[in-house]
Amino acid sequence: MNRRSPIPKAALAAAALLLAGCSSEGNMGWSELYGAAGQMFSGGEGGVTLKEAAAVPYASMGVRVGDGPEAMVVLASDSDGQRLWTSAAHIALLTHGGRIVRSSGFAHNLSAVTGTDPLPAFADPDAGPREVTRQVDFWDMNLFAVTLSCRIESKGDDPVTILGATIKTHRVEESCTATRPDWSFTDTFWMDKSGLVWKSVQHINPALDPVETEILRPPSG
């Protein structure tokens, strides 16, 4: 049985690190964040349950690395399209339009992303393919300004089931390559017509297994 535990100082530190530079206007206060994170669970192999997700009255997301257990993260900040998620499991993620653009708390992390972020444009399932480039930093590998050359395109309707509910989404795939280091991968996003990414499988560091996310309770607005 999973038990509730208070948020560790390491999780607060990770969240504070990612929060730097983000506006706090209209976002959850730290006392509220502490209380919400204290209710969060680290799910087993089957993932976070409906009962566990319902126990947290804030926007939340499930996060899994490779074949590991699913952890729940709560939305701590939402500003200018960037959302900060954190948890009692030492994890903090910054997302932009559903894409992870910075992470803390994993064995290997994504330190920074610069460049185009066209995912919201694919809210239209008929959007044509695009060729895009962006640069990423991996502090733990001492690699900076790594250029990713990517092709992103919609693959048509593909509904997802989360916590027993089926959600109408279409699948968007983005295939990327880098030459330094030698790295290639395909990220997959399942989004609805509003542009909300309900589920994703993303590669955020060459040394880390893919990160899977799923929205458990969507942000309001």
Mean of per-residue pLDDT scores for the chain? 83
Exposed, middle or buried, 146 (CB in 10 Å: 0-12/13-18/19+)?
Answer: middle
Q: Is 2 among the domain residues?
A: no
Dihedral sign for Cα atoms in the order 16, 18, 22, 24? negative
Contact 62, 52 (CB under 8 A): no
Contact (Cβ atoms closer than 8 angstroms) between residue 215 and residue 194: no
% pLDDT > 70, the chain:
78
Side chain identity at 139, as an amino acid letter?
W
- Asked whether the predicted pLDDT for residue 204 surpasses 90, the reply is yes
Number of domains in the chain: 1
How large is the average pLDDT for residues 8-35? 43
Task: Bin 194: left if φ > 0, else alpha if -120 < ψ < 50, else beta.
Answer: alpha
Q: Is residue 213 part of a domain?
A: yes
CATH number of the domain at 145, please: 2.40.360.10
- pLDDT for the residue 45: 58
Q: Which is higher by pLDDT, 74 or 55?
A: 74
Examine the pLDDT at 76 and tell me if it is beyond 50: yes
1 in any annotated domain? no
Q: Which of the two residues, 135 and 49, has the higher pLDDT score?
A: 135
Whether residue 9 has pLDDT greater than 80: no
4 located within any domain: no
Report yes or no on 71 lying in a domain. yes
- Asked if the structure places residue 3 within a domain, the reply is no
Model confidence at 44, pLDDT cuts 50, 70, 90, reads: low
Judge whether 168 lies within some domain: yes
**pLDDT at residue 15 above 90?**
no
Lowest mean pLDDT among 111-125, 140-154, 182-196, 204-218: 111-125
Give the tens place of pLDDT for each residue, 179-193: 999 999 999 999 999
> Residue 221 has what pLDDT?
63
pLDDT at 30 over 50: no
Range(s) of the domain holding residue 114: 9-217
Report the pLDDT averaged over residues 68-77: 91
d(CA 118, CA 185): 18
Sheet holding 60-65, edge to edge: 99-104, 92-96, 82-86, 71-79, 60-65, 211-217, 197-202, 183-191, 170-178, 143-157, 130-138, 112-115
In a domain, 134, yes or no: yes
Q: What is the pLDDT of residue 220?
A: 83
Beta-carbon contacts of 112 under 8 Å, excluding residues fewer than 6 positions away, are 101, 102, 136, 137
Distance CA 179, CA 149 (A): 9
- Strands 92-96 and 82-86, bridge-based pairing: antiparallel
